[in-house]
Amino acid sequence: MDIKTPKPPVPISETLSSYGTSGMITSVVITAGGSGYSADTQAGAGGTGSSATFDLTVSGAAAITGIAVNNVGSDYSYGDILTIADGSSGTVKIN
């Protein structure tokens, strides 16, 4: 009889990011609002994946104040930091 030692449980965040969604973004958190943005759809650059886009809500100072995933992209990892295009220094973290 071959008895194997069980593996420790995987944290739910890693499970959803690595297995449940196949690297597609399900949610993000704004880590820096940046400046020079307009309320439209923009790409995110960086991290381990590609093709993500986001719908932005911006303040009167053109900083990102709200964000919604428009295209989930592929091959992203939990915790990746993406820089939002067409402005300056706006970033989000993948949850």
Q: What is the pLDDT of residues 60-86, one digit of tens each?
A: 999 999 999 999 999 999 999 999 999
Report CA Rg, the chain: 16
Q: What is the pLDDT of residues 29-51, one digit of tens each?
A: 999 999 999 999 999 999 999 99
**Residue 12 is inside which H or E element, if any?**
helix 12-15
User: pLDDT tier at 12 (50, 70, 90 boundaries)?
Assistant: very low
DSSP 16: I
Q: Bigger pLDDT: 22 or 34? A: 34
Give the predicted TM-score (pTM) of the model.
0.75
Give start and end residues of each alpha helix (H) in 17-90. none
Residue whose C-alpha is closest to residue 56's, from 25, 86, 26: 86
Look at residue 23 in the predicted model and tell me its pLDDT: 87
User: pLDDT tier at 26 (50, 70, 90 boundaries)?
Assistant: confident
